[in-house]
């Protein structure tokens, strides 16, 4: 069984649910992340509801390909695991590539299939909708495009738990820039830590 994240139309820019794009909901005192390589403000990609937690993902897009935004530890992306106090839209920096061009609502659809790629193909066949309307999946096993890059938690050094795979998006005009690849998000719940990377 795979829990697919499917495109569910436009969403409010500050909506509380799982979505790609828009403005992140954050706790008080949040500082918008900056890339450690170019010092520019990162682009907000998505927020995902995980029970009472909110996973938020950012990635540098100021100089695509020049900063190591695909790596979990190089400083070109950032993932946060917020709690129930993440309720206010963040103040968006005035400079840098900070927001996606489109806000997309996400519907989670369970599909009975042995793995994510088969589930996505089955959902597309069953619904008659394009494969690009599958925005990723929650839980299960990551369908790596290259090799296993499960990150270790910086605090406890244990392998982090896989949370979500994220596709570029349903519309090539407004999609996330993974170079034609796929993103992967992880968390260490005891340490309240998260990590993100992408492959192609």
- What is the residue-wise DSSP string for 108-173? EEEE--SSHHHHHHHHHHHH---GGGEEEEESS----SSS--PPBPTTT-PBPEEEEEE---S-TT
pLDDT at 173: 87
Q: Which of 7, 1, 17 is nearest to 166 (CA)?
A: 7
Q: Output the CA torsion sign for 8, 85, 3, 166.
A: positive
| Cα→Cα distances 29→73, 84, 87, 89, 168, Å | 23, 14, 12, 12, 30
Is 99 in contact with 92 (CB distance < 8 Å)? Answer: yes
pLDDT at 46: 98
Domain span at residue 76 reads 2-199
pLDDT at 3: 97
pLDDT at 1: 85
**Per the structure, how many domains does the chain have?**
1
For the chain, which ranges sit under pLDDT 50? none
- Euclidean distance between CA atoms 144 and 147, whole angstroms: 6
pLDDT at 64: 86
pLDDT at 127: 97
pLDDT at 7: 98
pLDDT at 141: 94
Here the CATH number for the domain that contains residue 140 is 2.30.320.10
Q: Percentages helix, strand, coil for the chain, rounded to the nearest 5?
A: 10, 35, 55
């Amino acid at each position: 069984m795979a829990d697919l994240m499917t495109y569910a139309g436009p969403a409010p820019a500050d909506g509380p649910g799982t979505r790609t794009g828009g403005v992140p909901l954050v706790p008080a005192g949040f500082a918008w992340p900056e890339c450690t390589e170019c010092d520019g403000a990162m682009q907000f990609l998505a927020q995902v509801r995980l029970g009472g937690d909110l996973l938020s993902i950012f990635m540098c897009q100021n100089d695509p390909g020049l900063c190591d935004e695909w790596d979990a530890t190089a400083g070109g992306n950032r993932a946060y695991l917020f709690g129930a106090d993440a309720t206010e839209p963040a103040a968006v920096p005035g400079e840098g590539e900070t927001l996606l061009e489109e806000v997309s609502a996400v519907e989670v659809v369970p599909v009975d299939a042995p793995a994510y790629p088969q589930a996505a193909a089955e959902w597309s066949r069953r619904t008659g909708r394009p494969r690009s309307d599958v925005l990723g999946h929650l839980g299960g096993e990551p369908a790596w495009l290259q090799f296993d890059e499960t990150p270790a938690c910086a605090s406890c050094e244990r392998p982090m738990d896989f949370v979500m795979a994220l596709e570029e998006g349903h519309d090539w005009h407004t999609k996330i820039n993974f170079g034609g690849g796929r993103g992967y998000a992880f968390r260490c719940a005891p340490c309240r830590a998260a990590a993100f990377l992408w492959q192609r």
